[in-house]
């Protein structure tokens, strides 16, 4: 129903920005659903009706952080572990004359918060690690700096939301919400913040009003933020917003509901746990002890990597990370479409046989103990 009547419907996919609210009530309501969904997931007061992609959202968030920061500094902190596109676009110092700073310290001991106007953290990290950023966020706040968390919305159904961690701004991509991979193309991004910063929020906002007959009506609010209206004083360019994919993401959330989304996240984590248990049995170590859907592993055996032929034959595409803490690493990501057959092929791509265990819930330790060398065997979860 959603695919046929929304995704494939010209009335929806040609929507640029619904400037005529009298004929765009359905589209405006769908975008309001998107805003509400993001505000609920991030535990922040207000969200806009999407941005182009996560890297654009990262750049917009840091520009917004500089506008609202009370620090007066021009330093920008980024912690290693950001996706490469986010790090490149959000932290380019030339346009804004920002002084980029980075540190691998979890608690930022070697960084003076007074020297920066904002910091960008990834939650969970690009390698799947889940960290508690309360302490660095508190230090930033005490120095008048702004904290930005780039968070996976599917992970936020289970993890503590950015607003409860104390973050000022949350950004991310809603590609995980029912939008297929687009060959590297953009997916609707989100940005949310506290109510005190709503005037500095980039992009478009949908609001609810009452029409001349007393009926509830949807409209675009705070439109003076748009570039072609405010020109050089605009906070962003409205062209960098997604309409259709934001609507699809919101419909995905409406279709599954809160409990359905949590069930999907739990299933993704369980799949990642099974995959990790098998790889550990095969002699591979996983870098992150706490993760949701990503693995970042290296071999415990000398200079061993899954062969290219095995990966091609298995139809598996792994992320090669040439240099990582002095060794070569491989990244693997699971999602709601990852089946037991795919996990089986990943194990075989590593040139080894998969673990096996009896059906029903079991721990990773039990899974390791059931390992038997037979790549032709069928894994049953």
**Residue keyed to tokens 């990262």:** 58
Q: Nearest to residue 378, comparing CAs of 362, 355, 360?
A: 355
Tell me how far apart the alpha carbons of residues 127 and 294 are, in angstroms, rounded to a whole number: 6
Residue ranges of the domains in the chain? 2-253, 260-369
Q: Characterize 317-326 residue by residue with b for buried, 16 or more Cβ atoms within 10 angstroms of its Cβ, and e for exposed.
A: ebeebeeeee
Q: HSE (CB half, 13 Å, CA atoms) of 135?
A: 7
Handedness of CA 37, 257, 123, 295 (dihedral sign): negative
Q: What is the pTM of this model?
A: 0.81
| 10-residue averages of pLDDT along the chain (381 residues) | 87 67 83 95 94 87 87 71 57 53 49 80 83 89 91 94 96 88 76 92 88 88 59 61 87 95 93 87 72 56 51 70 66 86 84 52 40 33 28
Strands 146-151 and 205-210: unpaired
Contact criterion met (CB below 8 Å) for 30 and 15: no
Please check whether the domain covering 260-369 is classified as CATH 3.40.1410.10.
no
Q: Residue 251 has what pLDDT? A: 95
Tell me how far apart the alpha carbons of residues 350 and 97 are, in angstroms, rounded to a whole number: 46
Which architecture characterizes domain 2-253 according to CATH? 3-Layer(aba) Sandwich (3.40)
Q: Residue 295 has what pLDDT? A: 58
Is 260-369 in the same CATH topology as 2-253?
no
Tell me how far apart the alpha carbons of residues 275 and 279 are, in angstroms, rounded to a whole number: 6
Q: Residue 370 has what pLDDT? A: 38
Give CA torsion, residues 277, 282, 285, 286, to 10 deg: -40
Instruction: Assess whether the previous peptide bond of 239 is cis (omega < 30° from 0).
Output: no
Q: Residue 105 has what pLDDT? A: 42
54: which residues sit within 8 A by CB, 6+ positions away? 83, 85, 86, 150, 171, 172, 173, 187, 189
Tell me how far apart the alpha carbons of residues 277 and 356 are, in angstroms, rounded to a whole number: 10
Mean pLDDT taken over the chain: 76
Percent of the chain with pLDDT over 70: 66
């Amino acid at each position: 129903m959603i695919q046929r009547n929304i995704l494939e419907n010209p009335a929806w996919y040609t929507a640029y920005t619904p400037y005529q609210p009298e004929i765009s009530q359905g589209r405006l309501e769908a975008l309001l659903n998107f805003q509400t969904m993001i505000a609920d997931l991030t535990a922040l007061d207000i969200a806009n009706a999407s941005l182009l992609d996560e890297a654009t959202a990262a750049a917009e968030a840091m520009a917004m952080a500089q506008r609202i920061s009370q620090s007066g500094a021009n330093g920008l902190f980024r912690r290693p572990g950001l996706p490469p596109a986010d790090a490149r676009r959000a932290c380019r110092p030339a346009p804004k004359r920002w002084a980029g700073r980075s540190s691998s310290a979890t608690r930022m001991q070697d960084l003076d918060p007074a020297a920066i106007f904002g910091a960008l953290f990834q939650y969970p990290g690009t390698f799947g690690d889940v960290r508690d950023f309360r302490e660095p966020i508190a230090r930033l706040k005490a120095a008048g700096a702004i904290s930005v968390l780039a968070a996976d919305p599917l992970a936020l159904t289970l993890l503590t939301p950015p607003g409860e961690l104390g973050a000022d701004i949350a950004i991310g991509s809603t590609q995980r919400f029912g939008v297929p991979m687009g060959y590297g193309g953009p997916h609707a991004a989100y940005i949310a913040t506290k109510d005190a910063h709503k005037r500095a929020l980039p992009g478009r906002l949908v609001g609810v009003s009452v029409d001349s007959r007393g009926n509830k009506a949807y409209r675009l609010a705070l439109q003076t933020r748009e570039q072609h209206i405010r020109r050089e004083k605009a906070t962003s360019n409205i062209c960098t917003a997604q309409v259709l994919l934001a609507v699809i993401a919101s419909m995905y959330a409406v279709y599954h509901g809160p409990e359905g989304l949590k069930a999907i996240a739990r299933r993704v984590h369980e799949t990642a746990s099974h995959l990790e248990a098998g790889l550990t049995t095969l002699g591979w170590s996983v870098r992150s002890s706490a993760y949701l859907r990503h693995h970042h592993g290296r071999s415990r055996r000398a200079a061993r990597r899954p062969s290219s032929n095995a990966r091609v034959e298995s139809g598996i595409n792994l992320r090669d990370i040439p240099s990582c803490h002095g060794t070569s690493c491989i990244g693997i990501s699971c999602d709601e479409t990852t089946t037991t057959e795919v996990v089986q092929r990943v194990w075989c791509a590593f040139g080894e046989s998969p673990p096996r265990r009896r059906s029903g819930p079991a721990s990773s330790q039990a899974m390791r103990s059931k390992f038997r060398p037979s790549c032709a065997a069928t894994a049953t979860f």
